[in-house]
Amino acid sequence: MSKDFIPGLVKGMATTARQMMSPTHTAEYPDVAPELPARSRGVIALVESNCTSCMLCARECPDWCIHIDSHKEEVPPANEGGRARQRNVLDRFAIDYSLCMYCGICVEVCPFDALFWSPQFEYAETDIRDLLHEKERLGQWVADVPAPPQLDPAAAEAPEVTAANKPTRGGNRPPRPSREPDSRGEAR
C-alpha cells in the first residue's frame, strides 16, 4: 500500500462530490433542441428559383444521388425585333438521402447559390425509399438555412478584392473602396 492510497481515495470522493454539486452535461434532446454550431451539415436545401439546371451538382456528386430533369423554354424577345431566347426550366430536382454521403460538393460547386446546408436533421423515415426527396421538400428546408456568419472584421480581404485594389502600373488610379460590388469583376 503506497502512501498515496488514503489521500487518493479521499480525492476520488471529493471529485465525485464536486461533480454532483455542479450542473450536469446531459443534452435532453427531444425535449430541448440542441444548440448546433454554425455551418452544421444537416440536410441540403434547394432555392429553386436560383437553379439553372446546369447539372454541375449532379455531375460532381460522387455517389450520383442528385436527379435533375429539365426542359428548354422559348422566351419571347423583350424588345420588338429582338432574338428569342431560350432558358432552362427545372422539372425535377431530387436528392436521394439514402445515397448522399454529406460531402457537400454540390453546395460548393453550385455557381448560382441554389444549394445550401440546412441544420435540420430530423428527417428520418421508416422506409429507405422515402428518403428520396423532391424539390418541394428540398425547398421547405430553405427556411432553416441560417444567415451566413458575419465576416471577421480583422479577416484578410477576399483575393478578388485584393486584386482589384492593386494599384495600376502608373499608380495614379485611386484605390476603390473595398467590399463593394465591382462591375468589372462581376463581368469577368
Partner 1 sequence: MSLLEISLRSLAALAAVLVLPLVAGQAEHKVMAHMQGRLGPMYAGGFHGWAQLVADGVKFVQKEDITPAAADRSVFRLAPAVALIPYVIAIALLPIHPGLAAAEVPGSVLLVLAVIGVGVLGTLMAGWASANKYALVGGMRSAAQLLAYELPLVLSVASVAMAAGTLSLAGVVEAWTPWWLVWQLPGAIVFLIAATAELQRVPFDAPIADSEVVMGPWTEYTGLRFAFFMLAEYAGMVVMGLLFGILWLGGWQGPFAEQLGWLWTLLKGALIVLLIIWIRVSWPRMREDQLQRLAWTVLVPLALAQLALTAIGVVVTT
Stretch touching partner 1 by CB under 8 A, among 20-28, 63-71, 100-108, 115-123 = 20-28
With CB under 8 A as the contact rule, the residue among 17, 143, 147, 156 that binds partner 1 is 17
Q: Cβ–Cβ contacts within 10 Å for residue 121, how many? A: 13
Q: Does residue 150 interact with partner 1 by CB under 8 A?
A: no
Q: Does residue 22 interact with partner 1 by CB under 8 A?
A: yes
- Residues paired with residue 46 on neighbouring β-strands, in sequence order: 115
Our separate counts of H helices and E strands in the chain read 6, 5
Task: Between 22 and 79, name the residue whose CB sits nearer to partner 1.
Answer: 22
Amino acid residing at 109? V
Sheet (strand 132-133) strand order: 66-75, 85-96, 132-133
- Which grid cell is 29? 434532446
Task: Between 21 and 143, name the residue whose CB sits nearer to partner 1.
Answer: 21
Q: Does residue 34 interact with partner 1 by CB under 8 A?
A: no
Query: What 3-state class would DSSP assign to 67?
Result: strand
Q: Does residue 16 interact with partner 1 by CB under 8 A?
A: yes
Stretch touching partner 1 by CB under 8 A, among 13-21, 34-42, 84-92, 141-149 = 13-21
Q: Does residue 24 interact with partner 1 by CB under 8 A?
A: yes
**Does residue 116 contact residue 51 with C-beta atoms inside 8 Å?**
no
Q: Does residue 187 interact with partner 1 by CB under 8 A?
A: no
Task: Between 28 and 122, name the residue whose CB sits nearer to partner 1.
Answer: 28
Per DSSP, the residues of 25-60 read ----TTTS---PPTT---EEEE-GGG-----HHHHH
Q: Does residue 7 interact with partner 1 by CB under 8 A?
A: no
Query: What 3-state class would DSSP assign to 2?
Result: coil
Q: Does residue 25 interact with partner 1 by CB under 8 A?
A: yes
Residues that bind partner 1 (CB under 8 A): 9, 12-13, 15-17, 19-20, 22, 24-26, 28
